[in-house]
Structure 1
Amino acid sequence: MPENSLPSSALTAEDEAAVPGVQQDPRLWRDDGWTARVIKNEDDDGWAVEMIKDGEPEPALVGPWTMGRDKKNPKPLDTSAFNTLKKTASEVLRRHEQQLHALLHKSVNVASATGADELEITLDIVPSEDDPYALLTALDPYGEQLAQVKVAPNFRLTKASAATWVENDFRRPG
């Protein structure tokens, strides 16, 4: 029997990684940069499905999977189920990316020192295990950088802290 036609329950993780391209088995589908794998649910007697994006160490999505007609084995994966799982897992990853972006990038608008223009003040946190920091940046109404200083990653950007920084001629806070 060729390697590609082995039942997915007979494939080990190493075997799965060695099978390139599209794969459409009842318990393992691989296509378009994603792998769907039906697994035994560790929490109960049922089944679960995990969606893993190629190159990622952890699944983007793990959820319950429907039992088959015999009430023992899982329902086989099919094109429709795979496409739905792929869409849902992609949305989960997108939400995680948006949440991370919101945590690491903040922005407020304040009046310039002269009061003639409105400035955008941004805080971009650079996470690092060794030396985390943040960049506090002032941009004019045309998006040109007026000033930038390195601050602590826990610097709290508010309208008041931004206005104080502008009033102090962009000197490093604290």
Structure 2
Amino acid sequence: MQQHNDTIDSAASADEPDQIHEPRLWRDKGWTARVIKNEDGEGWAVEMIRDGSAEPALVGPWTMGRNKVDPKPLDATAHQTLVKTASEVIRRHEQQLHAQLNKEVSIDFGDDVVSVRLTITPDEFEPFGTLIALNPLGDVLATTNVRPDFRLTRESAGRWAADGFGKIR
């Protein structure tokens, strides 16, 4: 029976050849945890880097070991917890970015309620915004490009509608 388990473990390792399971470096399941000296003073920190990323998604304090000098070694449970935390940080960051780049207001227009959406396209050289007016069925009534710093409010959307959904200067 023991030989069978070793075979399964070897097969799993062969599927993921980049795995590293060391006390201060743990790479597994698309993430790398690295225990580093704390730059802000004494002690240790851990950084979590997602495969393919240049910057850590998470850097936080790390627990001292029993000798109160060396860091506590990484293990599978700690790595799994750190992956979950780092993934949540990335998810929150993506939600915040989405909220910054996408806004929507509703306005009364004639007998209908019109939704006006602003989507910012964060291009490195020429960012821009796009305004889209939608009727209650989701049909596009109008669309126009705006400056990336355009401030979408009920008032600005109302002015756009009152001007016949023309180009905004």
What TM-score do you get using the length of structure 1 for normalisation? Answer: 0.85
| Alignment match, 2:111 | 116
Q: Does 1:168 align with 2:156?
A: no
Q: Does 1:22 align with 2:15?
A: no
Residue 20 of structure 1, CA deviation: 4.1
In 1: Cα distance, 2:134 partner to 2:83 partner? 39
In 1: Cα distance, 2:17 partner to 2:126 partner? 39
Deviation by residue 1:21-48 (Cα, 9 ceiling, x = unmatched)? 3221111111111110111112222111
Deviation by residue 1:65-111 (Cα, 9 ceiling, x = unmatched)? 01111111110011111111111101111111111111111100011
The code of the aligned residue for 1:39 comes to I
The code of the aligned residue for 1:62 comes to V
Q: Aligned to 1:80, what secondary structure does the other structure show?
A: helix
Q: Does 1:46 align with 2:46?
A: no
| Alignment match, 2:123 | 128
Gaps of 5+ in 2: 1-15
Deviation by residue 1:109-138 (Cα, 9 ceiling, x = unmatched)? 0112xx221111001111122111100110
Residue 169 of structure 1, CA deviation: 1.0
The aligned runs of 1:23-172 (5 Å cut-off) are 23-112=20-109, 115-172=110-167
Q: Aligned to 1:122, what secondary structure does the other structure show?
A: strand
Q: Aligned to 1:38, what secondary structure does the other structure show?
A: strand
* CA RMSD between the two structures: 1.3
The code of the aligned residue for 1:43 comes to D
Residue 51 of structure 1, CA deviation: 0.3
Gaps of 5+ in 1: 1-18
> Aligned pair count?
154
Q: Aligned to 1:30, what secondary structure does the other structure show?
A: strand
What TM-score do you get using the length of structure 2 for normalisation? Answer: 0.87
Q: Aligned to 2:152, what secondary structure does the other structure show?
A: coil
